[in-house]
Amino acid sequence: MSIINSKLPWAALACVLCAAGIETGLRLRFPWTCVGLEALRNSLPSRKQFAVEAASYEAALREYKGGGIVLVGGSDLREGVDTILLKELLGGKEVRVFGMTGQDPLDTLDQNDYFTDRRPDLLIVMSCREGFYRGYMPRRLKYFLGVKGLRVLLETAHPRELFKMRKDMLDGLLGAVVFSLRYRETIRESLYARWGFRPRGSKEHGKGTAREDCWLHPLLEAQKAAFEREALEMQRRGVPLMVVESPRRSDVLSGYPAEVSADYRAFSERMSHDHGLRWIAQEEMPAFNEKDFGDPRHLSERGCEKFTRYLGSILMGSSFRRTSESRSLLDSGFRRGDGE
Amino acid sequence: MLFNSYDFFFLFLPAVFAIYWGLRERKKQNLFLLAASWLFYGSWDWRFLSLLVFSTGVDFLCGLRIHAQADDALRRRWLYLSLAVNLGVLGFFKYFGFFTQSAAQVFQALGLPLKPPILDILLPVGLSFYTLKAMSYVVDVYRRKIAPESDPTAFALFIAFFPQLVAGPIERAQKLLPQIQSERRMRLESFYEGGWLVLWGVFKKVVVADNLARGVNRVFDSSGPVPGPELVIAIFSFTLQLYCDFSGYSDIACGLGRFFGFELSWNFERPFFSRTIQGFFRRWHTSLFEWFKDYVYLPLCGDGVGLAHRLAALLLTTGLIGLWHGARWSYVQWGVFNGVCLALLFWTRSWRISMKQNGIFPVDGSFYRVQEHLTALFFLFVSMFLFRVHSLEQAFSLSGGLLHWDWSRRAKAEALILGVLLIPLLWQEVREERSKDRFAALRGGVLPRALWYLFLLYAVVIFGEEHAREYVYYQF
C-alpha cells in the first residue's frame, strides 16, 4: 500500500530543520546563561549541579576573548580553585577556569586551538593520574573528541583497542557535533533534580578507589601523546604552559599502584626536561589534610582556599620556567599586582 | 550486536544497507543479506553460528526429502528426524539443566538422592525463535501446504534474516519465502514507514522500557516484601516495560525489514486495548501464539473431541508456551495460569452468551465495556506478576507487602516516571487504535508531525540509556 505516494517527507525534513535550529541555538551563550540561572535557583547545592557545570563551562567558552591566566582541567579544578580569590591575589589579573568533569588530555587536545588562538598569558593544566591512566572517556565530558584526538588515537592505539572503543569514539564524535547529545546526562539529571528525586544511577564523585580507577591502560600512550602534542603546540605558538597536579587525599595517593606512580613521575620529568614545562607535583605543595577534602578527589572550601593561595604564591613568584617565546608575564601583570 | 547499539546503527546497518542496494541482482542481494545475517548472529558468539548453520542444513534437507517421498511412512520419518534434531537442540541447550535438576528433586522427594550431571551450557541467542520457524517450515512441507525451497541461500536467509532472527516475529515460510524469491525495489514510502517504525521502536525500547527497568528490577530482585504501592507500580511498570521492550524490538524489526524491501508480520496489535483475555492473546506476541495454536493446540484437539479434551489441550498448550519462555517453573505456572483463565472463559462461554441474550448483562452499555476491560487488565497484571517473579515463594513473599500501604518517596517517584512515560505511549497508541492504522503518525499536518518526531528524537537522545540494554526476549 502506498502511504505517501513518493512525496517528499516534509514532516521529517521539518523535524531535521528544527533539530538543526535547536543545535545551533545551543551554541549561543543565551541558553547556557538561562540553564545556569535556572540551576542556581534550584535548592540543591550548586556545586553538585550538573547544569551549573555545563552552563559555566559553555558560558566560559563563549565569554573568554583572550589573554590572562587560563586554567584547564577536570572537576578537581572547577571545585579546587577559587577564581575570585586567585584574581584578587594576582592583583586583578584576568583568570579563567575551564573545568569540566573528567577532562583528560585527549579531550583537551581538540580544544587547544581555541586557547592558543586567544593567546593567554599563561595556560595552566591541572593534571592527575586518573586523566592518563584510567580507561578512556569518562562518563560525562567525553565529547570534545575531534580530528586531532582521533589522529592521536589512530597513531598510538592498537587496532584491537580502537575496535574495542569504537562505541566511545562514535559517541564522542557525534557529541562533538550534537550538543544535546553531549549534555544529555546534564539535561537529564537536572530534570530529575527538578522533579524532586535523586538521579537514578548517579554516583558521588570519587567513590572508586585509586586502585580501581588507575592502571596501565592500553590507551595510556594515546593520552601521553595527546598531552605532548598539546605542549608542543603551545610551545610553537608561544603560549606559556604550566602543569599543576591536582591534590589528592592521602588514602588516594597511597592507593595508586606503584607502577602507575613511577610511570607518571617519569613522564612528568621527561615533559619538564624536553619541553621546559614547570610541572608542580603534590609533594611540592603544602600538606593537605582530611578537612581539606570534600571527597577523596575534590577539595573542600577550606582546601580550595589553601590550594588557591598556594597557586597564587606560585604565580606571583618567578619559580616557573618560561619558554623562550613566552611573553613577560611576570614583568607586567604579576609584578604590578604584587606591587599594588 | 543489539538493535539499540551504536555498532548496529552506525556501522552495521549503513554498511549493509549501502552494499545491499548497490547489488542489483536478487540472488546477489540474498547471498549478501545471508552473509550479513550470519555475521550479525556470529557477533554474539561464532559457536552459535555453527549451530544455526547445522539446524538450517538439516531442515533444508528434510524439507526436500519429505517432498521427494511418495510413501507417507518415509515422509513421516524425515519429519521426525527434523523434529528430533530441532527439539533435541532446543532441549539440550535450553532445558537440559532444568530437567535434570527437576528430576533430581523428584527423586530426592521419593527418598532416592540423585546427583544430576552439571553442564555449564550457554543458551544460544534466538534459538527458541529460529527453531520454531524451522519446524513450522518442515511441518508445512509435510502437510503439503507449501513446496520445499530448493535454493539453499533463500532457505538459509528465511531462517537467518537478521531483523527477526533473535527475537522474532516467528515468520511463516508462506509469507517470507515468496518475498525472498521475488525482486525487490527501493520504494520511498517503505523508507518512511520503516523509518517511523524504527524511531518509534527505539523510543519504546530506550526511553520507556529501559527507564522503567531499574525500578522494576529493584522490586523484583528483592526477597522480602516491599510496600504495596511500590509493588503495584512495579507490576504496572513491568507490564509496560515488557510490552515496550518486545514490541519496540518487533517494530524495529519490521522497520528494518522495510528498509530491505521486506514486509514482516506485526507481532503486537496494541494489546492493552483488548477488552477480553482471549483478545489480549490475539494481540500480544501474535506470531508465537499463532504458532502454538497451529502446531500444538489444533493437532492436539483433533476433530469432534469433547470439552474436557479441548480444555486439557488448552492447558497443555499454554503450559508449553510458558515453558518455551524459559527453563523455569515460574514460566510454566504463568502459562498454566493463562490457560486456566482461558479455559474458564471457554467453559462458561455458552452460559455467558445466554445471560447476555436474556438481557441480564447490559452488554452494550459503557459501564459493561469498562468493567470488562478492567477485568481483562486485572488478569493481565496478575499474569505479568507471575511471569516476572522468580518463584511462587517470591510471589507470596512480595504479595505480603500489599498489606502495608505506605506511599514512600520512592513509590511516588516511580509513579511519576510511569505516568510521564505513559503519556507519549498512550498518545500514539490511541491514535493508532482509533484509526486502526499502524502508520497514523505518517498522516496529518506537517507541523504537528514534525513536532512529534522532534519530541521522540530528543527523548531518545536525552533519556536513552548510554549503554545498550539487552532486550528482555533475547533470554528466551
Inter-chain CB proximity B462 and A167 less than 8 Å? no
| ipTM metric | 0.73
pLDDT mean over B400-428: 86
Q: DSSP states of A30-98 as a string?
A: HHHHHHHHHHHHSSS-GGG-HHHHHHHHHHHHHH--S-SEEEEESHHHHHH--HHHHHHHTTT--EEEE
- B458: chain A residues, CB-CB within 8 Å: 19, 22, 180
Inter-chain CB proximity A18 and B454 less than 8 Å? yes
* Residue B467, pLDDT score: 66
Between A185 and A87, whose confidence is greater? A87
* Residue B288, pLDDT score: 92
Q: For chain B, give the number of residues.
A: 476
Q: Is B325 a catalytic residue?
A: yes
* Residue A326, pLDDT score: 37
Q: DSSP states of B332-352 as a string?
A: HHHHHHHHHHHHHHHHTHHHH
Q: DSSP states of B120-173 as a string?
A: -PPPPTTHHHHHHHHHHHHHHHHTTSSPPP--HHHHHHHHH-GGGTTT-----H
pLDDT tens-digit profile of B47-99? 889 999 999 999 999 999 999 988 889 999 999 999 999 999 998 888 887 77
What is the distance between the alpha carbons of residues A306 and A310, in angstroms, rounded to a whole number? Answer: 6
Shortest CA gap B214–chain A (Å): 8
Shortest CA gap A17–chain B (Å): 9
Inter-chain CB proximity A184 and B462 less than 8 Å? yes
- B447: chain A residues, CB-CB within 8 Å: 11, 14
pLDDT of residue A209 exceeding 60: no
% of chain B at pLDDT higher than 70:
95
CB atoms inside a 10 Å sphere around CB B24: 8
Shortest CA gap A168–chain B (Å): 9
Between A42 and B30, whose confidence is greater? B30
Nearest CA in chain B to A184: B462
CB B362 within 8 A of CB B368: yes
- A185: chain B residues, CB-CB within 8 Å: 466
Between A146 and A292, whose confidence is greater? A292
User: How would residue B9 be classed by pLDDT, with cut points 50, 70 and 90?
Assistant: confident
User: How would residue A105 be classed by pLDDT, with cut points 50, 70 and 90?
Assistant: confident
Task: Determine which one of B67, B285, B309, B325 is catalytic.
Answer: B325
- Chain B residues touching chain A at CB-CB below 8 Å: 5-7, 10-11, 187-189, 192-193, 195, 214, 409, 413, 416, 439, 442, 446-447, 449-451, 453-454, 457-458, 461-464, 466
Among B446, B454, B463, the residue with its CB nearest the CB of A19 is: B454
pLDDT of residue A110 exceeding 90: no
* Residue B149, pLDDT score: 93
pTM of the model: 0.80
pLDDT of residue B41 exceeding 80: yes
Inter-chain CB proximity B453 and A11 less than 8 Å? yes
* Residue A318, pLDDT score: 46
pLDDT mean over B147-176: 92
- How many beta-carbon pairs under 8 angstroms link A with B? 78
* Residue B361, pLDDT score: 64
pLDDT mean over A53-64: 77
Inter-chain CB proximity B10 and A11 less than 8 Å? no
CB atoms inside a 10 Å sphere around CB B282: 15
Nearest CA in chain B to A200: B214
Give the SS3 label for residue A294.
strand
What is the distance between the alpha carbons of residues A235 and A271, in angstroms, rounded to a whole number? Answer: 12
* Residue B416, pLDDT score: 86
List residues bridging with B42 in a β-sheet. Answer: none
* Residue A42, pLDDT score: 53
Distance of CA A101 to the CA centre of its chain: 6
pLDDT mean over B172-179: 93
What is the distance between the alpha carbons of residues A322 and A238, in angstroms, rounded to a whole number? Answer: 10
pLDDT mean over B26-34: 94
pLDDT of residue A59 exceeding 80: no
* Residue A320, pLDDT score: 40
- Chain A residues touching chain B at CB-CB below 8 Å: 2-6, 9-12, 14-15, 18-19, 22, 139, 166-167, 170-171, 178, 180-181, 184-185, 187-188, 195-197, 200-201
* Residue A329, pLDDT score: 40
Shortest CA gap B207–chain A (Å): 12
pLDDT of residue B350 exceeding 60: yes
pLDDT of residue A49 exceeding 80: no
CB atoms inside a 10 Å sphere around CB B80: 12
* Residue B473, pLDDT score: 65
Angle between helix axes B188-202 and B446-463 (nearest 10 degrees) is 40
CB B192 within 8 A of CB B442: yes
pLDDT of residue B253 exceeding 80: yes
A18-32, A77-91, B66-80, B436-450: range with lowest mean pLDDT:
A18-32
pLDDT of residue B246 exceeding 50: yes
State chain B's mean pLDDT as an integer.
Answer: 87
pLDDT mean over B158-177: 91
pLDDT tens-digit profile of A291-307? 888 888 888 889 999 99
pLDDT mean over B417-439: 91
What is the distance between the alpha carbons of residues A127 and A123, in angstroms, rounded to a whole number? Answer: 12
* Residue A235, pLDDT score: 85
Q: Which amino acid is at A141?
A: L
pLDDT of residue B162 exceeding 60: yes
User: How would residue A334 be classed by pLDDT, with cut points 50, 70 and 90?
Assistant: very low
Indicate the domain borders of chain B. Answer: 6-185, 190-463
Shortest CA gap A34–chain B (Å): 19
* Residue B475, pLDDT score: 63
Query: C-alpha angle with apex B205: B323 to B290, nearest 5 degrees?
Result: 40
What is the distance between the alpha carbons of residues A16 and A14, in angstroms, rounded to a whole number? Answer: 5
A273-287, A306-320, B391-405: range with lowest mean pLDDT:
A306-320
User: How would residue B270 be classed by pLDDT, with cut points 50, 70 and 90?
Assistant: very high
Inter-chain CB proximity B189 and A197 less than 8 Å? no
State chain A's mean pLDDT as an integer.
Answer: 75
* Residue A216, pLDDT score: 62
Nearest CA in chain A to B188: A6
% of chain B at pLDDT higher than 90:
46
Nearest CA in chain B to A170: B6
pLDDT mean over A77-90: 87
Inter-chain CB proximity B6 and A166 less than 8 Å? yes
pLDDT of residue A330 exceeding 70: no
% of chain A at pLDDT higher than 90:
6
- Extract the C-alpha cell encoding B292: 502454538
What is the distance between the alpha carbons of residues A247 and A307, in angstroms, rounded to a whole number? Answer: 8
Shortest CA gap B210–chain A (Å): 12
* Residue A327, pLDDT score: 39
pLDDT mean over A164-185: 78
Among A139, A171, A196, the residue with its CB nearest the CB of B6 is: A171
User: How would residue B291 be classed by pLDDT, with cut points 50, 70 and 90?
Assistant: very high
User: How would residue A337 be classed by pLDDT, with cut points 50, 70 and 90?
Assistant: very low
